[in-house]
Chains A and B, each alone.
Chain A
Amino acid sequence: MRRVVITGVGAVSPHGLGAEAYWAAVLAGKSSTGTLTRFDPSAFAARVAGQVPAFKTQEFMPKAYRKAVRIMARDIELAVVAADFAVRDAKLATRGVLESSGEKILSDGFFKPDPTRVGCNIGAGMICADLNELTAAMVVARNDDGTLSLAKWGKSEDATKPSGMESLTPLWLLKYLPNMLACHVSIIHDTQGPSNTITCAQASAGLALAEAARTIMRGNADVALVGGCESKVHPMGLMRWTKLDRLTTEHNADPERACRPMDEQASGSVLAEGGAVLVIESLEHAQKRGAKILAEVAGMGATATGVGVRDTEPTGQAMAAAMNKALKDAHIGADAISMMVPPGFGMKATDLAEAAAIKTIFGPRPVPVVPLRGGIGDCGAGVQALDLVGGVLALRDQGIPPAVNCPRPIAGLNVPAGKMNGPVDAVLILASALGGQNSAVILKRFVA
């Protein structure tokens, strides 16, 4: 089996654009959650969100591709931007990089990969249609009683006017297919190797990384773009999670303090958008092209909780089993872990279950437990990708960041209140999805 290393990271988060902006904010213990401004949330009890600062997607792709932005839902735009950051960080002269920056970039240490040996595996969520676009089309086919007339939706009574469905752009469906994150990225960067889209909510990115890493281990690709992106900042997202009682309603006045993972005063999660793409490659490929190696992929474990759609397993047994599988896969013991990143939703029941799982694995040893979502919130399929970037950069910089909004950690957990110095030899990143899918990834410091 070949060794797999990480050579590039790209993030798009409420902390800003790029992995460095993300990491600087994380190290500073900054919170970037704020009042939800994307739409008017005044009808809802929770009005806080982690929103990505304004950006122009067109600037992250070759000119010739810019018209495709019209058929990109927000989730897709996030992935396109994150991927651009990641391939540039890895100094890969993909088609997208070459077409937008020119051949001159090759003299700047950039390497042109064989497109057939580059894979793409980007986790995604269920993408909501733009409500204004869809409702504008529905209005064309409204019945007097306020329902939608399917007859008028299909065919207009006035032949000179479009019907409801005809009011939608012909490519409407393609804005919302979850695999379009990976598809646009694969087209822009010409990645012709194995491509997949994992849709396991918050556990997607770790599962995607694990799957793509094994593709490289067994020799089916040399490089892969992996990660996940999602925007939950959508009226349907707010409605759904409000109805599921997932969101805090206690911090509308101090939104930066809203998301409090592992804190005794946690009162719910925060909607967010964002995600990340990482470049992974075989060690030999990275060394041959002289890439800077940020970390090594050491082990992966996946399990399912299987207790119910909305239920939590209070013992955290399945999460512990995922961590155990990852440790076994990495051939290391729990005592080799320098820092642990928990899911840390900031919801009482799930935080307690995670704490139970952490104690099962790490026992009384006070491993630093660093939830990275306190300043961001929950961006679904993107969230573990950001956690992975945090793990990679902790290894690169040999520093453990502080937890955000966690002044009173759950008893028995070592949650650092301030930045700590290394050594950071191995990081365990655990994610758990709404639905009970768990993924654990262990990254370690690269030693040749």
Chain B
Amino acid sequence: MRKRVVITGMGWVTPLGFEIEAVWRRMLAGESGIAPTTLFDARTFPTTFSAEVKGFDYLAAAGLGGKQHSAASRSTLFALGAAKQAWAMAGLAGAKLDPYMVGTYLGSGESGVDFDPFTRTGLAAWPAGANELDMKVWGTRAMNAFDALREVEQEPNMPITHLAMEFGARGPALNCLTACAASTQAIGEATEIIRYGDADIMISGGAHSMIHPFGVTGFNRLTALSTMNDNPRAACRPFDATRGGFVLGEGAGVVILESLEHAQRRGAKILAEVMGYGSSADAHAVTDQHPEGRGAIVAMKESLRDAEMGVNDIDYINAHGTGTKENDSTESFAIKQVFAARTGGPATVPISSIKSMMGHLIAAAGAVELITCVLAIRDGILPPTANYAHPDPECDLDYVPNTARKAKVDAVMSNSFGFGGQNDTLIAKRFV
């Protein structure tokens, strides 16, 4: 018999704030965290805005004084901030735990290069008229310009390294990086680790910041980002006929996953149960999704099978809903295939995308969205899809347009799809 897995703590650091209740209120009010980019001078970039985490004094706010985090990257600090909240909410501060049964599994992205030394060193080592670097010059300058610790802190396993230090977590420690699906996948696989019996508690979720010059360059070159520079708040328009790309966000979401027996034994407050997880690959193309949502359909169906639930049991879908032409129509098509057998048809499942308000947190998106789902269950209210004005015939479902909605919410599905065709779906349910 596999173990049941529940959520006992949650925390996040997002463009809408960094405290569970405040962010949730802002989301329900349809507020936006999207504004002109301030982390670097993006004024001549095709996209001049993003969804930044602002005003967060990471170390102070999270009570992280220690020297051990002094060189931590922006995404590691986001992860620590979110995990601190989740750990406290779960009532684990000061708890007596077997350290080898407390693990970490994040879907965190690597940090950008240390921009100033990186660009200066490269430019200084490029002889006039040459077509390649003078490696002797590059090497000599690089050895002086870069900082050893700042370099290693860019690695994608550093957020979990810091979490292990901070919380004394010596159990299974993993980071996966499946682009925009990463933290959903991390939570799914962390659930499997508890089900198997390898850990009692997993600190799981994701953290990422790609709001740096080369990150935005990469997405701009792919023409994946919205370029609605004159009206950033309206730029992310999931499922709207005039949608034109996603908006880059940053942040972290962390949940405390726990075996039901462990949570009950210590009298923890249970926020929701993780019921199902589905994962698949499109095996189609590095850029485009499979046009018929083949992998997305499998991920959703697998999550239902894993949860032993049917399409009538799902009360809400938190969509991947990036606001790109392709994703939103493909995702809608896939949902229609999966939910075709639902009583009343697929249009009776409310679907929304919170990326309309806080942008796309890339690797961290799925974790923040699962937390949103748990809050929807708790309060019986669905967050809206903001900026929805023009119906698209290819997206003809119920997207909870612009206004939050009261609803009976017992079970939710959360989708995440990544570049390269990785698809992951989670199902969470009110704990009974």
Contacts and interface: CB of A to CB of B under 8 A. Distances in A.
Given A39-B135, A146-B124, A179-B422, A174 B170 contact: no
B420 A177 contact: yes
B394 to A, nearest CB: 24
Nearest to A42: B136
B170 A304 contact: yes
Given A200-B174, A302-B172, A306-B170, A177 B148 contact: no
Given A134-B122, A179-B422, A435-B155, A308 B177 contact: no
A369 interface: no
B343 interface: no
A436 interface: yes
Given A124-B177, A306-B168, A192 B283 contact: yes
Contacts of A200: 157, 160, 173-175
A138 B123 contact: yes
A151 B170 CA distance: 46
A308 B168 CA distance: 11
B167 to A, nearest CB: 8
Interface stretch (B9-17, B274-282, B309-317, B396-404): B274-282
A283 B431 CA distance: 37
Interface string B124-138: 111000011101111
Given A147-B123, A194-B279, A196-B185, A435 B138 contact: no
Interface string B330-344: 000000000000000
Contacts of A433: 157
A71 B20 CA distance: 40
Interface string B149-166: 101111111101110110
Given A150-B213, A239-B139, A321-B170, A195 B157 contact: no
- Which secondary structure characterizes the binding site on chain A? mixed
A238 B143 CA distance: 10
Interface in B391-422: 418-422
Interface residues of B, number: 94
B136 to A, nearest CB: 5
Interface residues of A, number: 95
A25 to B, nearest CB: 29
A146 B123 contact: yes
Contacts of A88: none
A170 B221 contact: yes
A220 interface: yes
Nearest to A139: B126
Nearest to B110: A126
A87 to B, nearest CB: 14
B46 A154 contact: yes
A318 to B, nearest CB: 6
A192 B110 contact: no
B91 interface: no
A393 to B, nearest CB: 27
Contact of A303 (B137, B171, B178): B171
B187 to A, nearest CB: 13
Contacts of A147: 116, 119-120, 123
Contacts of B110: 126, 178, 199
B298 A435 contact: no
Interface string A418-448: 0000000000000001111110000000000
A192 B421 CA distance: 9
* Most chain B CB atoms below 10 A, which of A39, A183, A214, A243: A183
A198 B120 CA distance: 32
Contact of A173 (B139, B151, B164, B222): B222
A302 B174 contact: yes
Interface string A211-227: 10010001010000000
B208 interface: no
Which 9 pairs across A and B sit closest by C-beta, in order of nearness?
A43-B139, A173-B218, A154-B44, A183-B420, A306-B164, A304-B173, A195-B281, A155-B44, A243-B148
Interface of B: 40-46, 68, 71, 100, 103-104, 110, 113, 116, 119-120, 122-126, 131-133, 135-140, 142-143, 146-149, 151-158, 160-162, 164-165, 168-179, 185, 189, 192, 196, 198, 213-214, 217-223, 279-287, 294-295, 298, 302, 418-422
Given A180-B286, A304-B164, 6 more contacts: A147-B116, A173-B221, A194-B280, A198-B176, A304-B170, A435-B157
26 contacts: A40-B136, A42-B135, A44-B143, A125-B155, A135-B126, A148-B123, A165-B45, A168-B217, A171-B221, A174-B222, A182-B420, A187-B284, A192-B280, A192-B295, A194-B280, A199-B175, A211-B174, A211-B192, A214-B196, A235-B139, A239-B139, A239-B143, A304-B161, A304-B173, A325-B100, A436-B164
